Amino acid sequence: MTTLPETQSAAIKDLKSNDSSVSIAVQSIPLPALPPLPGQILVKINYSGLCGSDKSLLYDEWSAFGITMKDSTHGIAGHEGAGSVVALATDVEAAGSWKVGDRAGIKWVASVCGQCEMCLLGPTSALHCPSQKNSGFTVPGTFQQYVLTSASYATHLPDSVPDEIAGPLMCGGVTAYVGCKRSGVRPGQWLAILGAGGGLGHLAVQYARAMGMRIVAVDGGDEKGKLCKEMGAEEYVDFERERADVPGEVKRITGLGVHGVLVTAGSKGGYEMAPYLCRPGGTVVAVGLPGDKSVVAGAPPFVMALRRLSVVGSLTGSAGDVEEALGFAGRGLVKPILTKGTLEDVERFCGLMKEGKLPGRAVLKIGA
């Protein structure tokens, strides 16, 4: 086993603080208990993405749904980790699935039981395992230098994708990719992406382009429009200019409307608008997660029935989906725009996210 330090740095939320007085500080804490338990590996984190979900958990934005960081996290958020294995349990070593020095990715779903009804149905259904553990929500996350995680659920990172890019793809990338797949839009058909210039949206534009979809990007402002076009959008609709009739503009571009809509921004206006961008038989994919219970995905039953619309939800992806999402990046087809920082920048980056002013995806350099 590699010689390891006794302490590490971590960005820790005071779990006694509330959304109006959140306290997050970088502290020196002991490494996780060693040696790793059966089935575990210890990963030294080099980079971790800072996802919008991390912000929502750190600032209790989902408390209306009963979703808050558990005490078992010790206040450590983060679920987009990329680094290398520095220690492993004896059974993992004997199995040969991992060895010290292998590069590993840590995701939102840190582990599943592998035995329940949902797990036995397959890898996608396993995402709904009632006994799953979630990085930064029920177990300590990746805003620390060393993380113990499940060997069977960690992702082998390809040499073609560096850690600083792999990290944000562990959640943001796979969420965008699976959302595009869930839309059912085929190559050559139209996909509208709401919030297309944001941290999640700009990844969805790239994945959709790589999958052969024709993209109508919807966002606000000229800078977002320029970004969306650079990422591969065929058309851009500025809701600040077309506020009165975004659906009309989308139908002018596409004829009957789009075949699918991917809602990446958790805004009430976006969800209210989405069904009216669709052509008959279209699909709305709910991805953005607002904390407001009054926000609903869909339309009045009369509209849903008359136009034969579908509304589906999409949250992260299976281990196989993550490998596919990484494959696009490895071939140079997807590259996140990164705003780089360190553990000291967690609060600042969350503030920029709240204001809608964080360019691309935030990624933190964790390793020394």
What digits encode the pLDDT tens for the residues 199-215? 999 999 999 999 999 99
* Distance from C-alpha of 45 to C-alpha of 11, rounded to nearest angstrom: 13
Is the pTM for the entire model greater than 0.75? yes
pLDDT digits over 350-365, tens only? 999 988 888 899 999 9
pLDDT digits over 38-89, tens only? 999 999 999 999 999 999 999 999 999 999 999 999 999 999 999 999 999 9
Nearest CA to 322 among 119, 100, 167, 120? 167
pLDDT digits over 239-291, tens only? 988 666 899 999 999 999 999 999 999 899 999 999 999 999 999 999 999 98
Quick one: average pLDDT of 189-196? 97
**Do residues 192 and 277 touch, judged by C-beta distance below 8 A?**
yes
Distances (CA, A) of 244 to 109, 128, 210, 226, 296: 40, 39, 32, 22, 21
**Do residues 350 and 58 touch, judged by C-beta distance below 8 A?**
yes
Q: What confidence tier does 337 reach under pLDDT thresholds 50, 70, 90? A: very high
pLDDT at 2 over 80: no
